Amino acid sequence: MNFFLNIFKFLPPEYAHSISLNSLNFLYKLKLLSLFQIKKDDEVEFNLCGMNFKNKLGTAAGLDKNGDYIDALGELGFGFLEVGTVTPSPQSGNSKPRVFRNYEDNAIINRLGFNNKGIDYLLKNLKKRKYKGIVGVNIGANKTSKDDQRINDYLLCFEKIHEYADYITINISSPNTPDLRDLHNKENLKNLISSVENKSIEINFQKPIFLKISPDESDESIKMIIELVENSSFSGLVATNTTVNKDSITNEKLRNEEGGLSGQPLMEKSTNKISFIRSNTDMPIIGVGGVMSKNDFHTKIEAGANLVQIYTGFIIKGPKLINQIIRD
């Protein structure tokens, strides 16, 4: 596996991502994923928000945007998967190049811009999945949508996907869709939460709803978000998305690239946000950002995360990272 990871380093990032996941899918169809699958004889399920998990490790949104690899990723031993971010209409995202790998810092910068095949395509994949574990769906708004139409994008995705998602994450925190982070503002967020609540009542949706937030918000903003979520039917927070602050990376050229930074340089910042959230509330938290090792995983849990997701760590380290985290 290390041999293939080294080869992928020489390929363009998006191409390497596609090749690696398609290779994973190929091995799954050949029933060869047992070479990497992690099984624990003493595995004990636990419950969060009415959902049963076999372990606390999951995939973050962005890894499998369109749900093409649900069964293959599920076979690797993850306790849950989060697919998306998906938008109502297909969109190609921002112009290339838009993904930049920084192996010396174990980091990735991306400005993909919610590139995905649309909610209807994802829905087809969810309907035919064989994986029996928890699958959450991360939903967003199309780039061209503004104001009320942006809210309607979330509601459209919510309604279409609600029967086939074990939980839904409302993504307001990508830095790569213009003005999307404005939804962190109090009045905008109140409108979004209220609209989603009304839709959930209308369609009788009773599964968990999470809000994915930015690591770049102030403590005052985070407190406001916590208060709004606590006074709503939302279940908790996903903390956090990528950061626009790149001061922590060593490559000076990459510091000037637009987009969100993920990977090891995000670990401390995102974990500090988790700690701050936990010090102000007991709501469920899905922790994500910079997990590159088993120690990082446990640091997130100790900071207050109930569940932990990985993305960049999985891209850079490969399936062995799952093994290191899950096994005793």
Contact present, 56 and 79 (Cβ < 8 Å): yes
Whole-number Å distance between alpha carbons of 10 and 206: 46
* pLDDT at residue 112 in the model: 95
Q: Which of 225, 208, 71 is nearest to 137 (CA)?
A: 208
Q: Is the pLDDT of residue 41 over 70?
A: no
User: Which residues carry out catalysis?
Assistant: 174
Contact 92, 37 (CB under 8 A): no
> Does the pLDDT of residue 308 top 50, yes or no?
yes
- pLDDT averaged over every residue in the chain: 91
pTM over 0.85: yes
Which residues, in sequence order, are CB contacts of 140 under 8 Å at separation 6+?
Answer: 84, 85, 86, 87, 114, 153, 154, 157, 171, 174, 177, 180
**Which domains can be identified in the chain, with CATH numbers?**
2-326 (3.20.20.70)
The pLDDT tens digits for 187-223 are: 999 999 999 999 999 999 999 999 999 999 999 999 9
